[in-house]
Structure 1
Amino acid sequence: MFMPTHFDLDCLRSFVAAQEYGGFNRAAELLNRSQSAVSQQLRKLECQVGQPLVRRHGRRLVLTPAGETLFAYARRLLALNDEAMAALRGHALAGQARLGVVGDFAETWLPETLALFRRAYPQVLLEASVDRASALLDALDRGVLDLVLTFGGDGRADALPWRTLPQRWIGGDGLCFKRMEMVDLVVLPAPCRFRQGAIDRLEAAGIPWRIVFTGRSVAALWAAVRAGLGVSFRMVGELPPGISVMDDPPGVPRAPDVRVSIHDGGRPASDPLVQLKQMLETPPALIPAVG
């Protein structure tokens, strides 16, 4: 069978979007296309490779072995394409961009995102700050920061929804709760929505608890959890090595998800900020959904 010498990048983008965002409806919405157009692009890819890329599993579509192989390559092809396009635009772009991000992303997603922006726009002076949500929003309102990626600002007029992430209990790899056993908590100082959320949920279930470690940053929490000092309760994206999501304590219901938003303070954006915001508006594949 004749095989094409290249893939259509638009088809690959629809294919990847459908897998990363949970189906063709969501992919069509994000890509501003019709569902039928996205489905046609999948069929075009299947014709090119000569075999199915997805199969139906109950009500869901899952990747076939060929689909899994193409998915891995497609993400790399699209990333390289997007980086090349951004780099060509970046030579004519100069100025400053000041970004604030909550500590939950500082050790995982943030460094790679900053590196990608720096490679794409080498003439832009990019400054990044990592802090608690309230401090970041205050700095944004005072004009110290230009963009902020954080939770806790849902009622603000400048909130652009970015992604909804789960709240989960986090412990060292392999750790699990035991019924009615004292829970050692690793927390940030009060006031903190996750600290209070953990206490409230344990109190409601009648589970004894104590605070054994109070850190000044999320990185400090991760280090304490990794060392086995206790467990934490946080918004969960990608986690550093050595710690993982735990099952909920016995009798404690699953916590609601948390919405993360991009905030610009309602101020007009310079060209560097427009490009940074566009980069941030696409939720990275580095932050997977947690079941």
Structure 2
Amino acid sequence: MRRPTFDLDVLRTFVTGVEFNSFAKAADRLGRSTSAVSAQLKKLEEQVGTPVLAKSGRGLVLTQVGESLLSHARRLLELNDGIFQTLHESQIAGTIRLGLQEDFGEHFLSEILRRFVQTYPMVSLEVRIARNAELLALVESAGLDLALTWDAGHTSPYATRLGETQMHWIAARDAPPFTRLAESPLPLIMFDAPCVLRSAATQALDAAQMPWRIALTSPSVAGIWAAVAAGLGLTLRTRIGLPSHLTVIDGLPPVPSIGYTLHSSGADPIPAIRQLAMLIETSLQEQAFNFTVAK
């Protein structure tokens, strides 16, 4: 048995007329004559096999079947419009500029790019790996559309705090027991100042009255990991991207967690930028980097 197929134009007329509480207004909104609208409603009732509207005084009200049809019709139209919107957006071309802290860039950028290109295959991404100060300056000057940074207390007009993760003291697995060197300056491997993790490390050690020294500074996270692995000292970072040959160590002063924030250059970004922002947030939630994400 061949099943009848609803005409989406007819359903749109039906839904619009109900929402405007006037099929005359619906006709004007949809650019049709009132007689054309009447013909569509007659066709709809013939397909359904029962009236969907009933007279009530000078107006019309939905029958029980009409109420049910209205709910289904809205879902069908939303699905139809969503399909066309997705297909249209997939043909949009352009460039989105994304800035990331190196920790995030190394760990989960490839998965975000894979997901993003499925929806926007024609959109190019320019990715900049940099530190907080540079990323924030670029967002404020509209040099970046989005930037994912550590929460260092400096915000931007359109920022969303996505979560936080614990900072840890990290050393090589075969490193000397740094906790026994309380009388000697602890060798630290850090970014050069200003750096939120560097400040957290030195403040924690100063509060515990433990002497320290900067043994090495590196412009990259990879350089920090390499120096720590070589046994030149220890560092303070998160578990994000922590190499297997390094380990979290205990016995040193406690340190707080650190937040991460997504910054946008505008209040009303285009759909492609909103999609990328959603993918970043979703990826952080899904992967969780083996650390606790605080909401």
TM-score range, shorter chain: 0.5 to 0.7
The counterpart of 2:249, out of the listed 246, 251, 265, is: 246
Distance in 2 (alpha carbons) for counterparts of 1:247 and 1:171: 10
Structure 1 residue aligned with 2:190, among 182, 187, 191? Answer: 187
Contact 2:115 2:279 in 1 (8 A): no
5+ residue gaps, structure 1, are 1-86
Residue number in structure 1 paired with 2:113: 114
Alignment: residue pair count: 202
Return the TM-score normalized by structure 1.
0.62
8 Å Cα contact 1:94/1:272 also seen in 2:
no
Map 1:48-67 onto structure 2 (within 5 A): none
RMSD: 2.5
CA contact (8 A) 2:187 2:232 kept: yes
Query: Is 1:200 aligned to 2:199, yes or no?
Result: no
For 1:100, the equivalent position in structure 2 comes to 99
Name the structure 2 match of 1:287.
Answer: 289
Rounded to whole Å, the distance in 2 between the matches of 1:168 and 1:207 is 17
Counterparts of 1:88 and 1:172 in 2: how far apart (Å)? 50
Q: Distance in 1 between matches of 2:159 and 2:244?
A: 31
Q: Does 1:277 align with 2:280?
A: no
- Quote the Cα distance in structure 2 between the aligned partners of 1:248 and 1:264: 39
Amino-acid identity (%): 34
Q: Confirm or deny that 1:123 pairs with 2:114.
A: no
Deviation at 1:161, TM superposition (A): 1.6
Matching of residue 220 in structure 1 with residue 219 in structure 2: no
- 1:164 partner SS: strand
Please state how far the C-alpha of 1:182 moved relative to its aligned partner: 3.7
Provide, for residues 85-106 of structure 1, a one-character-per-residue CA deviation record: whole Å limited to 9, x for no partner.
Answer: xx97874343221111111223
Deviation at 1:112, TM superposition (A): 3.0
What CA distance in whole angstroms lies between the structure 1 residues aligned with 2:117 and 2:226?
Answer: 28
Distance in 1 between residues matched to 2:227 and 2:171, nearest whole Å:
9
Normalising by structure 2, what TM-score?
0.61
Question: For structure 2, which runs of at least 5 residues remain unmatched after alignment?
Answer: 1-85
Equivalence for 1:177:
178
Q: Does structure 2 conserve the Cα–Cα contact (< 8 Å) formed by 1:106 and 1:130?
A: yes
- Partner SS, residue 106 of structure 1: helix
Contact 1:154 1:259 in 2 (8 A): no
Alignment correspondent of 1:31:
none
Q: CA deviation digits over 1:2-25, x for unaligned, max 9? A: xxxxxxxxxxxxxxxxxxxxxxxx
